[in-house]
Amino acid sequence: MTVYSPPGSDGAIVAYESRYDHWIGGEYVPPVKGQYFPNPSPVTGQTFCEIARGTADDVERALDAAHGAAGAWGRTSAAERATVLNKIADRMEANLEQLAVAETWENGKPVRETMAADIPLAIDHFRYFAGALRAQEGTLGEIDDDTVAYHFHEPLGVVAQIIPWNFPILMAVWKLAPALAAGNAVVLKPAEQTPASIHYLMSLIADLLPPGVVNIVNGFGVEAGKPLASSPRVAKVAFTGETTTGRLIMQYASENIIPVTLELGGKSPNIFFDDVSRADDDFMDKALEGFAMFALNQGEVCTCPSRALIQRGHYSDFLAAGVKRVENLRQGNPLDTDTQIGAQASNDQLEKILSYLDIGRQEGAKVLIGGGRSDLGGELSGGYYVQPTIFEGTNTMRVFQEEIFGPVVSVTSFSDYEDAIKTANDTLYGLGAGVWTRDINLAYRAGREIKAGRVWTNCYHLYPAHAAFGGYKQSGIGRENHKMMLDHYQQTKNLLVSYSPKAMGFF
Amino acid sequence: MGARVDVTPAAAALIRSLRERHGPLMFHQSGGCCDGSAPMCYLEGEFRTGASDILLEELRIDGVDEPVSFWMSAAQFETWKHTHLTVDVVPGRGSGFSLEAPEGVRFLIRSRLLSAPPHSGSD
């Protein structure tokens, strides 16, 4: 067991600056209006740095820098850009522990998670897109004996990226890696709840990128995000967030006739068929871990398996074992490597979760474990901790239909395969789902019938590069985490070439 | 008292102050993900509603001349229609492109079943 010291304190392996301006054109630039806002750690609720409060003027400066850099960056060879991405990955790997502690301090998630998942995945993501870019090639079509259609990939130019707070570094990298690989310059706005992590990352990698290729404008959605997303100077907007803002971004994009990619959340079903409990073996143990995965990252994951559907034949026994599994989860100081559940990322997130615990009870959902705020004592008393909570109820309840974004699962039963699929698909969303069974034919059928972009089959919450990730229904547009995301950051240029010296004969 | 949506006194005060600073306002209740499941406050007309939305309430706020419209997507309303909503405000950080976020506060929905008595202290 290790307990890391808070960044900047005695014995800490990493420190944040006391203030972050905007990163524009390869240097830090203070905000035009001169305003800053405090950035608290959810671990203690105490402010640890202040952040530039960006406005439209700052966005314009960042767009100037990006447009200045986009041309040259887009013309670099694939080999050069891939080398840059690989160097970024190497630099991150050499500083993995520091990045993990820094992100944990800002987001509240356990350091064992940032060490084992967030940062290693981010590193691999850069390497994946470095490789994908090297292997990408255009196409040619022989239209006829003298005519050839060549298809080239070209960068879009300058793209806007708006990043969520639940995985401040990994979500930024999911967007940065394909955009940079494809040869675009980026203006990125981190979430106002977690704006500092990306600046710590930039402090490690800035020298590897030409000035202006990556620009970071901090600030609030309405003041900095909106002018960025609605700017006629961006060629694409990528956003991860919720449905109303997603629609608003599409509305802005429609004014400029530019594409968007959106990842907008879910209410993911996690289905446990009867045969899971046929033996008390490794697979049963894995399935119970899969059930408890709703509490991973404090439930602040768009694919949180927040609806557990358990078949009636083993319902009572499996649920009892699941409750026991959750009872044994360790909540505590996120900087302790033994901690499995840390703090919610912000006070308003805490309040929202508590409001759902309230309506869940009012609707008659039964609380099997948890159900309230956790006070961990000492300096952690000011932090934003929620007990892992299991509700038992029916799929029409609001706690079954809405994304709570907390460590809360709503459990119900199903009778047979048809009932499972009907309940699983009875949601506005379609981002993720889980299917657990020892019957591979059943698993395949269920996976194909569930209307979601990813169906984890006998596993959950794995996010490897090269597995496409994105939503059906109201969960968004586009597929991240896969080479197909390169296409979302590229134009197709067709050269239609005639190799015949003869006139066409029309005129 | 709104049949479907009310505001707490604290939320009403914030709405008044945002109205004075920015102009006429509207709400659209968001669905899932990071900043979601929260009422987003925009300048009236900033968010284009359409046939896929339902107008739940025209909120009357003391000191605000025009009603403040409160919208939700129709599909989402299907799963919310048995509950009464109260717009409250809590200290907070971000909320999409909602107008109140830079004030260090955030609108929040508190809910009760429509058949149940009012939420204590909310109405």
Q: What is the pLDDT of residue B116?
A: 60
CA distance A75 to chain B (A): 35
Interface test with B, best of A59, A174, A243, A304 (most B CBs within 10 A): A243
Whether B33 sits inside 8 A of A242 (CB atoms) is: yes
| Residue B123: pLDDT band with limits 50, 70, 90 | very low
Residues 6+ away with beta carbon under 8 Å from A144: none
Q: Answer whether B106 touches A (CB < 8 Å).
A: yes
Whether A356 sits inside 8 A of B37 (CB atoms) is: yes
The percentage of chain A sitting over the pLDDT mark of 70, rounded to a whole number, equals 100
pLDDT digits (tens, 9 = 90+) for B14-69: 999 999 999 999 999 998 777 778 999 999 999 999 999 999 999 999 999 999 99
Q: Which residues of A touch B25 (CB under 8 A)?
A: none
Residue carrying the six token digits 């879009």: A156
Full-model pTM = 0.96
pLDDT digits (tens, 9 = 90+) for A490-503: 999 999 999 999 99
pLDDT digits (tens, 9 = 90+) for A123-149: 999 999 999 999 999 999 999 999 999
Residues of A marked active site are found at 263, 302
- Nearest residue in chain B measured CA to CA from A303: B33
* Higher pLDDT among residues A210 and B115, named by residue: A210
Q: What are the DSSP E strand ranges found in A230-290?
A: 237-240, 260-263, 269-272
Give the separation between CA A223 and CA A256, rounded to whole angstroms.
Answer: 19
Give the separation between CA A357 and CA A12, rounded to whole angstroms.
Answer: 36
CA distance A165 to chain B (A): 7
Counting one residue from A and one from B, how many pairs have CB atoms under 8 Å apart? 165
Helical H runs in A34-118?
A: 56-75, 78-94, 96-107, 111-113
Q: What is the ipTM of this complex?
A: 0.92
Q: What is the mean pLDDT of chain A?
A: 97
CA distance A286 to chain B (A): 27
> Angle at which helices A78-94 and A168-181 pack, to 10 degrees?
160
CA distance A185 to chain B (A): 24
Give the separation between CA A249 and CA B30, rounded to whole angstroms.
Answer: 13
Q: What is the pLDDT of residue B32?
A: 76
A487: exposed, middle or buried (C-beta count within 10 Å: 0-12, 13-18, 19+)? middle
Whether A193 sits inside 8 A of B93 (CB atoms) is: yes
| Residue B122: pLDDT band with limits 50, 70, 90 | very low
pLDDT digits (tens, 9 = 90+) for A475-490: 999 999 999 999 999 9
Interface test with A, best of B33, B49, B79, B109 (most A CBs within 10 A): B33
Q: Answer whether B61 touches A (CB < 8 Å).
A: no
Q: Is the pLDDT score of A265 beyond 90?
A: no
